[in-house]
Amino acid sequence: MNRFWLALRTFWRTLTEADFAARVEPLFSDRPTGPDLRILAVLQRDGRLVDFLEEDIDGYGDAEVGAAVRDIHRGCRKALHDYLSIEPVLTGAEESSVRIPADFDPAAVRLIGNVDAKPPFQGVLKHHGWRVRSVRLPVLPVARDDSSVLSPAEVEIP
Amino acid sequence: MARYVVGVDLGTTNCSLAFALAEAEDPTKPSPIEQLDVPQVVGLNDASPRPLLPSFLYLAAPGEFPPKALDLPWKAGADRAVGVFARDHGAKSPGRLVSSAKSWLSHAGVDRRSAILPWSAPPEVAKVSPVEASAAYLAHLRDAWNAGAGKDAGGRLEEQEVLLTVPASFDAVARELTVEAAKQAGLAGVTLLEEPQAAFYAWLAEAGDRWRKQVKVGDVILVCDVGGGTTDFTLIAVEGRDGDLALNRLAVGEHILLGGDNMDLALAYSVAATLPRGMEGLDAAQRVALNHACRAAKEALFADPKKKSAPVAILGRGSKVIGGSIKAELDRETLDRVLVDGFLPMCEPTDQPAKGRRVGLAEIGLPYAADPAITRHLARFLNRQAGSLHAEGGVIRPSAVLFNGGVFKADPLRNRVLEVLSNWAGKPVPELRSNDLDLAVARGAAYYGQVRRGRGVRIRGGVARSYYVGLETSAPAVPGIEPEIKALCVVPMGMEEGTDADVPGPELGLVVGEPAVFRFLSSTTRRDDPVGAVVERWAPEEIQELAPLETALAVEGESEGATVPVRLHARVNEVGTLELSCRSARDDRRWSLEFNVREPGEE
């Protein structure tokens, strides 16, 4: 990475583009912000994920949890697919054998078991992993994301 | 010169837009059709693309949302939203939600140019007219297009060839108002296309040259189009012409306000009936959730015929999703009873839909169909058209069916319609398979744009109704009784686009300086009346009265009160609307007749 060049470009675009400046500004802020929160807000909005994770479910029977989870699952799944394209890192079937070349990316593939074997590795695919192929976050810039609200309180006026 | 042909489906509950290059590389083949994903407000601070644009307009209250929360990439400071968020949020605050604008557009009982929507809005809401609401949806599509594909020079939607679809059952007034909405949205050069025809074009586009093998000369194809809010029937005949197959749109049905939304609502009500406190025990948001959950359960049951029931869960209203949740179940018996037997009952070809006012399902104001049985409406349509078409044996037996509308994604619903038609025909009636029931109309319209340029087969048919001007008879006036009228045919059914006709018959006298008002009528069944024919008597369901026609004669040169003899002149323009005018019998002056859509008796 040529940091000098990056710094110049950032300087210039921050100076000339309001949208770009609005996206840089949060980097200097301590407030919780950023794309991760947007995804979480969307999962709460469309699938009530935060409500679900924050609820104490010990007191409910399996049938009650099951019925609700179906709905939460449907909402979250749709939201996930609306905003992200997710695909397996490795395409083979799980529990089938897989060959990992010597120059594999340790961030994308994790070896377990006899990790000292000689490459290329011959192993069994235990979990195919996930990666994001494309992100379709809201069209609007992040600038307005200047708040810690994941989901607004709702008040009905009769 | 347009670069694209663009099909716009302006639906009662959803809009969509499809497009294709106007000039293909291979001039004999249509270009591939693409779909525009429409950016729209789907949540606060979230404008994201979706394949459909729900036809809902939410008029936000001042300060209701944070600043910029409804902004779109092309619009800052928005105080109204169109699309997913409008629909979802509006269900919880219905006083500011405009819905079913298209049904209002075709509702002759109200003034369609005045601000009446939302119908039940409190006084502080700045209401909009049905025309304005329709224009808002079209303007949203225009901006979405212009922000994406239209960014290049010459790419703006205003400069493209736009095909706008309307129900086949829309009369001349509703068509005129649709064109007016398009003009308000800056789309001055639209051409109208009937939705069932568009669905048929989509099928043709998909089938390619194979379509000639799937139908034969003499076939009559029924297009059964059940949208969110309307049911629309059309008959298309396959004819032989110069050794090739030709398509001719024979007949269209009347406007039936009954659709998939009614089905979903009926299902939600029957599931709510199993809850301890019924529908009354649910608040607005829970009712929406129930609707969604019922739709999901319906789809699950329709997708897997072995499943006996599907769970319906309404999550807790507060932050407790599981603790406050309400559980119910949709079983197959209920599903079949409510949807299949309720909306598509087995019936005889001679059955008629029940009359009378229906309570419960009706939204205030709109004249919803009294009988939810779509098959009985179909029986009535075929029956009436059989007489009109002088069909052999007095019945029409469609040789195949093309379905359209998201409702028909469910196999059991398509199968039931086929079963009913096969019973009537005494032999199996096959289905012409279409793949994309939600998006077919916009795609078909984009295909039609290419057909107009000579790439593909065109459905003929002309004007779907015959139109009449009412002439008062010279019967002695009886106080309190409206004088009887005779109907003078000014536009015969089947009159082609781009043609015009002088209306023969009596000279009429227009009084200078006074507005002249003509009663205006139409029929979907009287196909044998030539232009100039005078109909003295008709059955009540044969001819319906529409909004009156009006013109005012300026005094210019004539003395006020003088009478100018005129003849009527009719033209069907390329857009697909009517232009009626009076032409002076003495000189070449003319006065165009405009629809007066004000509420009857308002003056």
Rounded CA separation B391/B385 (Å): 8
Q: How far apart are the first and last CA of chain A?
A: 59
Least confident stretch, A17-26, A50-59, B17-26, B79-88:
A17-26
Angle among Cα B376, B545, B368 to the nearest 5 degrees reads: 40
> Does residue B571 register a pLDDT over 70?
yes
Q: Span B438-452, mean pLDDT?
A: 92
Where residue B558 falls among pLDDT bands split at 50, 70, 90?
low
**What's the rounded Cα separation, in Å, for the pair B358 and B373?**
12
Task: Name chain A contacts of B49, Cβ cutoff 8 Å.
Answer: 136, 139
Residues A28 and A23: their CA atoms lie apart, in Å, by: 10
In a domain, A7, yes or no: no
> Is residue A108 domain-resident?
yes
The per-residue pLDDT for B30 is: 79
- Work out the angle at residue B459's Cα, subtended by the Cα atoms of residues B208 and B451, and round it to the nearest 5 degrees: 55
pLDDT band at B480 (very low <50, low <70, confident <90, very high): low
- How far apart are the CA of A118 and the nearest CA of chain B, in angstroms? 48
pLDDT of B248 higher than 60? yes
Q: Closest Cα to residue B499, out of B487, B489, B491?
A: B491
pLDDT confidence tier of residue B478, bands split at 50, 70 and 90: low
Residue B588, pLDDT score = 83
The answer to the question of residue A120 being in a domain is: yes
Has residue A110 been placed in a domain? yes
How many residues are recorded in chain A?
Answer: 158
Q: Count up the domains in chain A and report the number.
A: 1
Calculate mean pLDDT across residues B318-333: 88
Give dist(CA B361, CA A54) in Å, integer.
Answer: 39
Q: What angle do CA A88, A89, A93 make, to 5 degrees?
A: 60
Answer yes or no: is A101 within a domain. Answer: yes
Asked whether the predicted pLDDT for residue B358 surpasses 80, the reply is no
pLDDT in tens, A78-137: 999 988 999 999 998 999 999 999 898 988 998 888 888 888 889 999 999 999 998 877
In a domain, A50, yes or no: no
Q: What would the two tokens of residue B560 be?
A: 């006020």
Look up the ipTM and state it.
0.72
- Which residues contact residue B578 at a Cβ distance below 8 angstroms, ignoring those fewer than 6 apart? B172, B176, B463, B467, B491, B570, B571, B572
Residue (of B68, B98, B73) closest to B83 by Cα position: B98
pLDDT reported for residue A24: 81
Q: What is the pLDDT of residues A122-143, one digit of tens each?
A: 999 999 999 999 887 765 444 3
| Per-chain mean pLDDT for chain B | 87
Which pLDDT score is estimated for B153?
67
Domain hosting residue A103, numbered range: 90-129
Q: Which residue segments constitute the domains of chain B, with CATH numbers given?
A: 4-189 (3.30.420.40), 214-257+348-357+366-438 (3.30.420.40), 260-343 (3.90.640.10), 466-595 (no CATH)
Q: Which residues of A touch B77 (CB under 8 A)?
A: none
CB-nearest partner of B71 from A52, A74, A140:
A140
Question: Nearest residue of A to residue B315 by CA position?
Answer: A68
Size of interface A-B (CB pairs under 8 A): 75
Q: Do B68 and A83 touch (CB under 8 A)?
A: no
Interface of chain A against chain B, CB under 8 Å?
A: 42, 45-46, 48, 51-52, 54-55, 57, 59-60, 64-65, 67-68, 70-72, 74, 82-83, 136, 138-140, 144-145, 152, 156
CA distance B215 to B200: 13
CA distance A103 to chain B (A): 39
Q: Is the pLDDT of residue A32 over 60?
A: no
